Amino acid sequence: MYKEEVVLCSQILNQHFGPIVEQVGMMLIRRGRSTIPYICKETKMARKNVRECLVVLIQHLLVSHSENMENGRIIVHYNFSIKNLLKRTRIGMYLALIEERFGKTGLEVAKLIALNGTLTLDQIRKSLEKETNSIDINLYEDTMLMMVKDRSLVAVRPENMLTVEDIKQKLELKEISTMTVPPTAKELENIRSRINEEIDIRTNSKIIVGTKRKITENGINNPAKRLKMGTNNSEDEELDPGCFFAIGVNKLDVLLRNTHLANYADRITNIGGVTVMKTLLGIAEPSLGSCKDHKTFTISTPQIIARIPKEVSIENMIILSNDDNDSESANGYYKSEKKRNIAVAESVFSFLEILSNDKSGMVIKTDGIGPGQFYVNFEKGIYAIRRQMINEFVRSHYGNESVRLLNILADHPYLDEKQLSKIGMMPPTTCREKLMELSLVGLVEVQEIHRSADRAPIRTLYLYTIDTNRQASAMLKLLYSFTLKLNQRLDYENLLKQKLIMKANRNDVVNDNSLLSEGDKDSLNELNSTLEKIGAALLRIDSVILVFRDSL
């Protein structure tokens, strides 16, 4: 963990929950798995306050707890989830995605959950009734049911409150307790491998939890009989009132990741290629559980053609081989629907060929009948996007020569300064300076090869190379540092205009805006403009963090 990451966690806890919860959370982050007495001792807080802080953090899925038997007593240990905390900076993008997919009703439900943590259906219903007197609860319940089926809302199960290590430990003890003799080293290794496979299956499960069948009047609950009688539809399902619901950040991260892939397709082709890429990802979207999936299932070209939006004139976005001899296609107008469908199919296939022939290898064509089948390789696509983002960062901070050196090392690793200066067509002194800058940041690694036993520098070869994992770690460290500086600037701007903000938030000023002078209004507009720019910069940085930290 980086120092910048720890400070960023402290800032997020302070902004979202206040200084008291921040003190308990930071103690768990620094010390790790702890009990309540140990937390009270380290933070010097009352037991009641510590318990209340832990309840708040557990409610927001930031702390997990596990019960363990020690010396005949049940001891409860608490562990902090840094991954879930850092994702809270993305709440604004999550809410925007939910509003885009489910409208205002979905946005209100998501806001309630983001503000209060995990809630049951009854708690959500009561909160909505308090906010609005005339409200159609059935409309909100239908929207929630759609969100649960889409996995934008997920039901919180008991295993979500446990860490992976605690689950492994309990399953391992359960397996060992069934054996008559202690396991050997090989048997223990087999047990742990089976446990890891079981946890992977649970994690990547596509089963939707949080819904149940309605009790019907005819009493038919057998799925086969319901299907035979034609009553097996989504109207017979309802939300489980005993489940707690939380925002499905994994599914929303998939949607944000798909946006990056579509933007990369825009650099390869045009809007037509983006439409084909979005359609390809949209077909595979229901099968994607998280950003850790390596690829989609294979999709045939007719499936993609059938899902292309009709309002997008994709046939006018690419020049086909027979366009010069066809006056209808040249004008973009087709007399018959059949000719237009043929042109759309040819255009989609041409865009798929362009995407599959790109050097990134993001879209891969497999052997199939007719025009073939395609799938998206997320591992190669994310690698290409990371490389593109690193190149843009290096170009803006260190110049085009540094980008040239990075591209050379990406294709030809382990080169010395002479080879790099010759291939990069730059003076040796400039090459050495650029390599030193990149190595100090962590984007370039140096491999020493000693030609003698005394390891003298004069008899040592220094070869430069690139490690993609260390590059991602170096970029994350820089991104966390930029986020910290922007948060500090945000606090500084609010501190400068603190008195003006307090004046503008007074009840009499809210009711009568004329109590503010023209200078106060100009200062408020300037402050809002500055805060808006800082917020937009934070969102852009967090979208880059999604690619480097949360994708594969």
Tell me, what's the pLDDT at 479? 95
As a whole number of Å, the CA-based R_g of the chain is 29
**Greatest Cα pair distance in the chain:** 89
Assign domain 3-80 to a CATH class.
mainly alpha
Q: Which residue has the higher pLDDT, 326 or 60?
A: 60
Q: pLDDT, tens digit, for every residue of 251-283?
A: 999 999 999 999 999 999 999 999 999 999 999
Answer yes or no: same fold for 3-80 and 381-466: yes
Q: Helix (H, G, I), strand (E, B), or coil: what is residue 415? A: strand
pLDDT of residue 31 exceeding 60, the answer is yes
CA 75 – CA 366 distance, rounded (Å): 55
pLDDT of residue 327 exceeding 70, the answer is no
Q: How far apart are the first and last CA of the chain?
A: 18
pLDDT of residue 465 exceeding 90, the answer is yes
Mention every residue, 6+ apart, whose C-beta is less than 8 A from residue 228: none
* Domain at 251-321+338-376: CATH code: 1.10.10.10
> Any idea where the domains of the chain sit in the sequence?
3-80, 251-321+338-376, 381-466, 472-550
Which of 380, 268, 473, 395 has its CA nearest to residue 405? 395
pTM summary value: 0.88
Mean pLDDT value across the chain = 88
Mention every residue, 6+ apart, whose C-beta is less than 8 A from residue 289: 151, 203, 204, 205, 206, 250, 251, 254
Distances in Å between the Cα of 4 and the Cα atoms of 24, 428, 547 are: 19, 35, 18
DSSP 496-517: HTHHHHHHHTSHHHHH-GGGS-
Tell me, what's the pLDDT at 167? 84
- Overall size of the chain counted in residues: 552
- Quote the tokens at residue 92: 């604004």
pLDDT of residue 221 exceeding 60, the answer is no
pLDDT band at 225 (very low <50, low <70, confident <90, very high): low
pLDDT of residue 204 exceeding 80, the answer is no
Instruction: Work out the burial of residue 21: count CB atoms within 10 Å of its CB; fewer than 13 is exposed, 13-18 middle, 19 or more buried.
Output: buried
Angle at 102 between CA 99 and CA 107, to 5 degrees: 45
In the chain, the amino acid numbered 373 is: Q
Tell me, what's the pLDDT at 241? 87
Q: pLDDT, tens digit, for every residue of 371-398?
A: 789 999 999 999 999 999 999 999 999 9
Beta-bridge partners for 448: 462
- Quote the tokens at residue 357: 């022939």
pLDDT band at 551 (very low <50, low <70, confident <90, very high): confident
Q: At what angle do helices 19-31 and 36-43 cross, to 10 degrees?
A: 110
pLDDT band at 202 (very low <50, low <70, confident <90, very high): confident
CA 149 – CA 137 distance, rounded (Å): 18
Mention every residue, 6+ apart, whose C-beta is less than 8 A from residue 109: 124, 128, 140, 143, 144, 147, 153
Q: pLDDT, tens digit, for every residue of 147-164?
A: 999 999 999 877 777 777
Tell me, what's the pLDDT at 235? 63
pLDDT band at 338 (very low <50, low <70, confident <90, very high): confident
> Where do we find the tokens 């993305």?
90
pLDDT of residue 136 exceeding 90, the answer is no
CA 177 – CA 195 distance, rounded (Å): 15
107 contacts 95 by C-beta, under 8 angstroms: yes
Tell me, what's the pLDDT at 168? 85
Determine the topology of domain 381-466 in CATH.
Arc Repressor Mutant, subunit A (1.10.10)
- Quote the tokens at residue 461: 């070869």
